[in-house]
Amino acid sequence: MKRALCFAKRNLKEMVRDPLSLFFGIAFPILLLVLLSIINGSIPEEAHMDLFEMQKLAPGIGVFSLSFIALFAALLISKDRGSSFLLRLYTSPMTGSNFILGYLLPFLPMAAAQMIVCFGAAVILGLPLSGNLLLCIAVSLPITVVNIAIGLICGTCLSEKAVGGVCGALLTNLSAWLSGIWFSLDLIGGAFRTVAYVLPFANAVDACRAAMDGRYADILGTLWIVCAWAVGLLTVAIVIYTQKMKQK
């Protein structure tokens, strides 16, 4: 554990040296909140359209913003792979799980900061301030681990150029369209809805919205699926990284 913590401190310093990525991960969700809040204000009440109301919009945008962490994690690990830094560390007693944990830990406070800033902006835009905001941040932890694990898998298997397309374009689009942020998945139904609820993104949004609304009994109904994905993907990341490390 001490080895993983020392490695995590080094990775945290690397993240701080790239403030542009941190700014983008925080500023872009705020921009989306502002734009969609303006759109919601122009929708007539007769339309009975509540999807863009801040109570539902803020948890959705918060979960969506966490998909950018996958890109940051993938870039960090792919850059390390492209240098001789990791080759030197491979001669140390660190295991594959130590490396993955060292990459995972620095992104957890970053994710919490993104959610805090996102909800802070939502409060300014009209979201009621309540203790459920803290619960919503806690509920977002499993989807944070999912995104970090995806980034670590991509960063381990792909080059620095390739991860930009997979994590920067493909994953963010999957997270956006299959999470039910922009439209109701129940209205589409069919195979699209089924696939969306097999994946973790829509379940994470539903769990965060339940936490925001104070529907505590509904949280675990969808959150367990996200937790299963988090454990599974993190295990896959450790196995793949350990194999790659042995090959080196």
Residue with tokens 């944990």: 101
> In whole angstroms, what is the distance from residue 175 CA to residue 50 CA?
21
User: pLDDT band for position 10 (50/70/90)?
Assistant: confident
Predicted confidence (pLDDT) at residue 6 exceeds the cutoff of 80: no
> In whole angstroms, what is the distance from residue 79 CA to residue 153 CA?
14
- H or E stretch at 193: helix 190-198
> In whole angstroms, what is the distance from residue 247 CA to residue 244 CA?
5
How far is C-alpha 127 from the geometric centre of its chain's CA atoms? 22
Q: Which of 85, 107, 105, 146 is nearest to 2 (CA)?
A: 105
User: pLDDT band for position 170 (50/70/90)?
Assistant: confident
Q: Where are the domains of the chain?
A: 2-247
User: pLDDT band for position 228 (50/70/90)?
Assistant: very high
* AA identity, residue 169: A
Helix axes 190-198, 200-213, angle to 10 degrees: 80
How much is the mean pLDDT over the chain?
Answer: 81
Residue with tokens 């949004």: 205
